[in-house]
Amino acid sequence: MELTNDQLFWLIAISIGCVGISVWAFVEYLEVRIKARTKLRQTEAREETRRELAAYVAEGSISPDDAAKLMASGNEGIEGITMGIKDFFTKGAGGCQGGEA
């Protein structure tokens, strides 16, 4: 049995369509996985920051109120928490070096 030109055209068109749909589905799958991993890493980093702040509070380096403020400043993401901690300690270190208690 021999294929006509029309049959060959539709066979190729359907094959290309199936490959396109498969590639699209794979890309969507990868996107979902990447978003899930990113969310997981953000959550892990946030929990690590909370544990570090709790340790600082336990050793008396910072007050519980200051730790709460640092955590509240991190609502925009883990970058905000990290910058808030750096700012807090650079300001705190500068004040102690200047002779102030």
Query: Burial of 57 by CB count in 10 Å (0-12 exposed, 13-18 middle, 19+ buried)?
Result: middle
Q: Calculate the CA dihedral of residues 40, 34, 77, 61 and round it to 10 degrees.
A: 40
Q: What is this structure's pTM?
A: 0.54
pLDDT, one tens digit for every residue, the chain (101 residues): 788 999 999 999 999 999 999 999 999 999 999 999 999 998 998 899 889 989 999 999 888 888 888 888 765 556 666 666 777 777 765 444 444 43
Distance (Å, whole) CA 36 – CA 28: 12
Pick from 69, 74, 73: nearest CA to 57: 69
According to the model, what pLDDT value does residue 49 have? 87
Q: In this predicted structure, what is the pLDDT of residue 90?
A: 73
Domain ranges of the chain: 29-93
